[in-house]
């Protein structure tokens, strides 16, 4: 019998700050975005997109600090010694360095936090848009299955900050957070089924971020289409593998094989689109006359998107969605898009929902539908371990606001916009010229020449982090950026992190 490998523990970290998309933000943005009314914008965001709160990193937070916070929470949840870990992989698309892995920064933070040395830990960073963490998980699981590990645990972390231009259509699909998972043999939480993972990749331009840009470039409608076609192809691959292994014949309601379906959730409404694509294609191929009669029509739809919209309104779909998908969406509604971690936030939501509703997940099969723009999709499955309750996650502790007795704090619009606009470098200009540029004042010929030279030679200087909205407390923080460029010592732009106890 093959060794069982999977997820032993999972933990989530979300920044304290959030934007309430139904409050001040909506009141200001409604006219700026050309909406008919504030209520119209709120409806678009909360119903059309499915988000109410958007997590925002404070000035001392970045992808590395969030990853380290999620890591120590996962280690605590598992009750292990960090010296039992020999593989630490980070999946991200918002790296903090163009060369150094976030995992190496996280390793340093863990060493200082626990007061231990971890020199034999491998620390790769895997990037492929929102599917990077899935590839990191696949690598960790495969490594243990192959017997290459010398210690029992691998630590896989997804960490991202999604950022789009202010006053753009993508602004309300931002978010930030990290999810950490400990992987091992005989896991107490979720056993990943071997031999069933199906992957598809293709060269696409649906979403990308050029090296010179701090925000992503996205073709929204096109990207949704690529997402749907890729996960459908990966789903069919999973079905083929399952049928080969189990000797089942096609057409036997294979959607019944999955008790829950977790999707990559760039925004919660996307899960409905994805479920309509997967369930619709599955149901249409089922040899079940009663099922076919419940669908919008029995023939090939002329307009597939229109047919899927009709399907989404049927009682069959709504019941199935409520049972298989809805329990996984609370994280996305309250945090927003965390790119590579969105799928694993859905897993955390499902576990939290089960604990809240006293639903038994033991031995249930969960289907995972991962996607990363550019583009790649993967579908795989896992069986919930009978011991999963011992590893339960308290998601409310991360998601509740101060008004609800939690840790999260709503940030006013002006402060959010200041955090959003901060850049870690600026042109190296005289203070007087900087002030004139910020004030929009006319420049002299000499000042114009100085500005042109600074742009041409990319003459920049490092800017230290702005003051935090909420001072760091019991957390890792970016304390400063290096500024030295000497013959005997260079740290210009290097990131220094520390644990802030109080």
User: Per residue of the chain (502 residues), what is the pLDDT tens digit?
Assistant: 468 999 999 999 999 999 999 999 999 999 999 999 999 999 999 999 999 999 999 999 999 999 999 999 999 999 999 999 999 999 999 999 999 999 999 999 999 999 999 999 999 999 999 999 999 999 999 999 999 999 999 999 999 999 999 999 999 999 999 999 999 999 999 999 999 999 999 999 999 989 888 888 888 899 999 999 999 999 999 999 999 988 776 655 777 899 999 999 999 999 999 999 999 999 988 878 888 889 998 555 578 999 999 999 999 999 999 999 999 999 999 999 999 999 999 999 999 999 999 999 999 999 999 999 999 999 999 999 999 999 978 898 899 999 999 999 999 999 999 999 999 998 999 989 988 988 889 999 999 999 999 889 988 999 999 999 999 999 999 999 999 999 999 999 999 999 999 8
Spatial contact of 41 and 33, defined as CB atoms under 8 Å apart: yes
DSSP H or E run through 315: helix 315-324
SS3 content of the chain, % helix, strand, coil (to 5): 40, 20, 35
Q: Name the pTM for this structure.
A: 0.95
CA angle 20, 26, 28 (to 5 degrees): 120
Spatial contact of 323 and 279, defined as CB atoms under 8 Å apart: no
HSE-CB of 261 using CA atoms within 13 angstroms: 26
For the chain, the first-to-last Cα distance in angstroms comes to: 50
- Name the DSSP class of 262: E
Spatial contact of 162 and 93, defined as CB atoms under 8 Å apart: no
Spatial contact of 230 and 375, defined as CB atoms under 8 Å apart: yes
Q: Select from 331, 29, 50, 41 the least CA-distant residue to 176.
A: 331
Contacts of 38 (CB under 8 A, 6+ apart): 26, 27, 30
Q: Tell me the chain's radius of gyration from C-alpha atoms.
A: 24
Q: How far apart are CA 418 and CA 425, in angstroms?
A: 15
């Amino acid at each position: 019998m093959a060794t069982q490998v999977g997820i032993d523990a999972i933990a989530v970290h979300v920044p304290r700050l959030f934007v309430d998309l139904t409050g001040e933000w909506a009141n200001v943005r409604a006219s700026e975005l050309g909406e008919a009314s504030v209520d119209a914008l709120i409806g678009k965001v909360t119903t059309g997109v499915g988000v109410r709160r958007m997590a925002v990193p404070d000035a001392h937070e970045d992808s590395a600090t969030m990853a380290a916070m999620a890591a120590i929470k996962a280690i605590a949840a598992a009750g292990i010694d960090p010296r039992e870990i020999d593989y630490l992989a980070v999946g991200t698309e918002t790296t903090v360095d163009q060369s150094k892995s976030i995992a190496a920064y996280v390793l340093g933070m863990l060493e200082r936090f626990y007061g231990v040395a971890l020199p034999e830990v491998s620390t790769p960073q895997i990037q492929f848009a929102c599917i990077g963490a899935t590839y990191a998980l696949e690598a960790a699981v495969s490594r243990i299955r192959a017997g290459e590990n010398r210690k029992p645990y691998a630590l896989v972390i997804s960490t991202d900050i999604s950022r789009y231009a202010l006053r753009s259509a993508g602004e309300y699909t931002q978010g930030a957070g990290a999810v950490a998972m400990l992987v091992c043999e005989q896991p107490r939480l979720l056993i990943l089924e071997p031999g069933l993972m199906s992957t598809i990749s293709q060269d696409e331009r649906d979403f990308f971020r050029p090296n010179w840009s701090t925000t992503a470039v996205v073709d929204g409608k096109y990207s949704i289409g690529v997402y749907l076609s890729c996960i459908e192809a990966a789903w069919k691959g999973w079905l083929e593998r399952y049928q080969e292994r189990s000797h089942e014949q096609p057409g036997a309601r294979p959607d019944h094989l999955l008790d829950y379906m977790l999707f990559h959730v760039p925004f919660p409404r996307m899960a409905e689109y994805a479920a309509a694509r997967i369930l619709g294609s599955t149901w249409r191929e089922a040899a079940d006359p009663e099922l076919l009669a419940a669908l919008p029509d029995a023939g090939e739809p002329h307009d597939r998107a229109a047919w899927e919209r009709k399907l989404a309104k049927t009682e069959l779909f709504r019941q199935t969605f409520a049972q298989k998908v809805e329990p996984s969406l609370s994280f996305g509604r309250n945090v927003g898009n965390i790119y590579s971690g969105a799928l694993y936030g859905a897993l955390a939501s499902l576990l939290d929902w089960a604990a809240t509703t006293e639903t038994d997940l033991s031995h249930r099969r969960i289907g995972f539908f991962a996607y990363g723009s550019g583009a790649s999709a993967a579908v795989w499955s896992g069986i919930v371990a009978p011991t999963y309750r011992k590893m339960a996650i308290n998601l409310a502790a991360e998601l509740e606001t101060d008004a609800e007795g939690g840790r999260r704090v709503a940030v006013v619009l002006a402060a959010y916009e200041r955090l959003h606009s901060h850049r870690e470098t600026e042109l190296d200009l005289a203070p007087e010229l900087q002030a004139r540029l910020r004030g929009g004042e006319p420049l002299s010929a000499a000042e114009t020449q100085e500005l042109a030279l600074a742009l041409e030679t990319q003459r920049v200087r490092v800017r230290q982090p702005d003051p935090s909205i909420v001072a760091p407390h019991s957390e890792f923080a970016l304390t400063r950026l290096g500024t030295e460029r000497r013959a005997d010592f260079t740290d210009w732009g290097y990131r220094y992190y520390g644990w802030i106890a109080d």
